[in-house]
Chains A and B, each alone.
Chain A
Amino acid sequence: MADDAAGVRVELTIPAQPAYVSVARLAILGIASRMPFTYDEVEDIRLAVGEACTHAIARVQAADGAHPNVRIVCTVEPRRLQIEVIDDAPATEAPEAAPEASPFDEAQLGGVLIRILMDEVEQRTDPETGAHVLRMVKHLLR
């Protein structure tokens, strides 16, 4: 794997089942550890990816499991690591956090963790495929 300026892509597809979140975490641990991130930064990335996969699996399961995979697409660049967690579950009408939800609601805590641990976080729907994409970036600060 040559880390050139254009970035190197590493893709992993996991079944949208809780048992496989640990597989995604292990993979991202391997990728982030190849970059000069600190131990704490690698742990931050691992936790954020775990949360993102958990969220994607919940979306797929809420959509009756018709789209049974979650894709994790990592782009390794010289000064940053981008990770996209992609699922094909259709967008739901309901907001992700119900107004009456406790501030310590589990789903909200996952979102809070991702936003704090990563430098850039963005959610979007791919206009071509309709897939839900959670894009996260961690920058190398040194």
Chain B
Amino acid sequence: MTLKVEADRDVPSSDTVIIRVEGEVDVYTSPRLKQEIMDELAAGRTRLIVDLNAVEYLDSTALGVLIGGLKRARERGGDLQLICDNVRILRIFEITGLTRIFQIYRSRSEALAPAT
């Protein structure tokens, strides 16, 4: 069981970070994702984009961490958004109704495209 969480700050805006997640996010590993989200918010980054494209498995604990991060980001005037084009993972967001509260992009370039 492995989980890799990595912050990519090579993005156009200093208040934005892409948190790349790879592996299985469950009750055992999700505290690491939560810590990374908290660290980025504490460092003043308010637009957190969590890239789930390399995630193989995700459960309700992971959903709870993402929802908690979204609430905290919005309290700071920011947002927590997702990158995901994995049909299996997207289905979990769909059946729990979470596609209504998260902005979900298919790719990094889509997430970082200037607003039109």
Tier of interface size on chain A: 20 to 34
CB contacts under 8 Å to B, within A1-53, are 18-19, 21-22, 25, 40, 43, 46-47, 50-51
CB contacts under 8 Å to A, within B70-107, are 88, 92, 95-98, 101
Question: Is there an interface contact between A21 and B28, defined as CB atoms closer than 8 Å?
Answer: yes
Question: Is there an interface contact between B63 and A109, defined as CB atoms closer than 8 Å?
Answer: yes
Question: Is there an interface contact between B1 and A54, defined as CB atoms closer than 8 Å?
Answer: no
Query: Which of A66-74, A91-99, A110-118, A124-132 lies at the interface?
Result: A110-118
Q: Is B40 part of the binding interface, using a Cβ–Cβ cutoff of 8 Å?
A: no
Question: Is there an interface contact between B60 and A109, defined as CB atoms closer than 8 Å?
Answer: yes
Q: Is B44 part of the binding interface, using a Cβ–Cβ cutoff of 8 Å?
A: no
Question: Is there an interface contact between A51 and B28, defined as CB atoms closer than 8 Å?
Answer: no
CB contacts under 8 Å to A, within B19-44, are 24, 26-28
Question: Is there an interface contact between A22 and B28, defined as CB atoms closer than 8 Å?
Answer: yes
Q: How far is the CB of A51 from chain B (nearest CB, A)?
A: 6
Q: Is A119 part of the binding interface, using a Cβ–Cβ cutoff of 8 Å?
A: no
Question: Is there an interface contact between B28 and A113, defined as CB atoms closer than 8 Å?
Answer: no
- Where chain A touches its partner, the secondary structure class is helix
Q: How far is the CB of A33 from chain B (nearest CB, A)?
A: 15
The distance in angstroms between the C-alpha atoms of A20 and B37, with both chains bound, is 25
Q: Is B55 part of the binding interface, using a Cβ–Cβ cutoff of 8 Å?
A: no
Interface string of A75-112 (1 = CB under 8 A from B): 00000000000000000000000000011111101101
Question: Is there an interface contact between B26 and A106, defined as CB atoms closer than 8 Å?
Answer: no
Q: How far is the CB of B100 from chain A (nearest CB, A)?
A: 10
Q: Is A136 part of the binding interface, using a Cβ–Cβ cutoff of 8 Å?
A: no
Q: Known contacts A22-B1, A104-B67, A104-B101; is A113 also within 8 Å of B60 by CB?
A: yes
* 11 A-B interface contacts by CB (under 8 A): A18-B27, A22-B1, A22-B26, A22-B28, A47-B57, A103-B97, A104-B96, A104-B97, A106-B61, A112-B95, A117-B95
8 closest pairs, A vs B, by CB?
A106-B64, A110-B60, A18-B28, A109-B60, A22-B1, A18-B27, A54-B27, A19-B28
* Given A22-B28, A109-B96, 5 other A-B residues pairs in contact with their CB atoms under 8 A: A110-B59, A110-B60, A113-B92, A113-B95, A116-B95
